[in-house]
Amino acid sequence: MTGDDFLDKVVDWANRRSDIISLIMTGSRARPDPSVDSHSDYDLEVFTSVPERYASTHAWLEEIADVWVLLATESITTCGPTSHRGGIPGCR
C-alpha cells in the first residue's frame, strides 16, 4: 500500500462516519518541504462529536488498515462535545 492509498483509506473511512467533524494532517507530511521520506509516519488528528467512541477502544483503527504497532501514551478525557488530552480539572 502506498502513502496515497493509506490516506485515501483514512479519508474514505472518515467520510462514511457522520460523527467525524474533521480530519487534519499535521507533522512532517503536512509541510511542503522535502523532509518526508518513505519511512515518515502519518500524524492525523480526528475530531468527532462522539469522542467516547474512539477513546474507549482502539478497534476502530482496524476499520482503516491493519495496525502493526500501537503506542497508547496519553489518556483522553472528555468535556462536553470536545475531547482533551491529559487531566483537565472538572472533566470526567
Number of separate domains in the chain: 1
* pLDDT tens-digit map of 19-34: 999 999 988 888 888 7
Give the residue numbers spanning the domain of 28.
3-66
Q: Is residue 86 part of a domain?
A: no
Nearest to 82 by CA among 51, 56, 54: 51
Q: Is residue 75 part of a domain?
A: no
For the question of whether the overall pTM of this predicted structure is more than 0.85, the answer is no
- Burial zone of 68 (CB within 10 Å; 0-12 exposed, 13-18 middle, 19+ buried): exposed
Nearest to 29 by CA among 3, 64, 8: 3
* pLDDT tens-digit map of 34-62: 778 878 888 899 999 998 888 888 889 99
Which element (helix H / strand E) includes 45?
strand 43-48
Q: Is residue 49 part of a domain?
A: yes
Q: Is residue 87 part of a domain?
A: no
Within the chain, residue ranges assigned H as helices are 3-15, 51-55
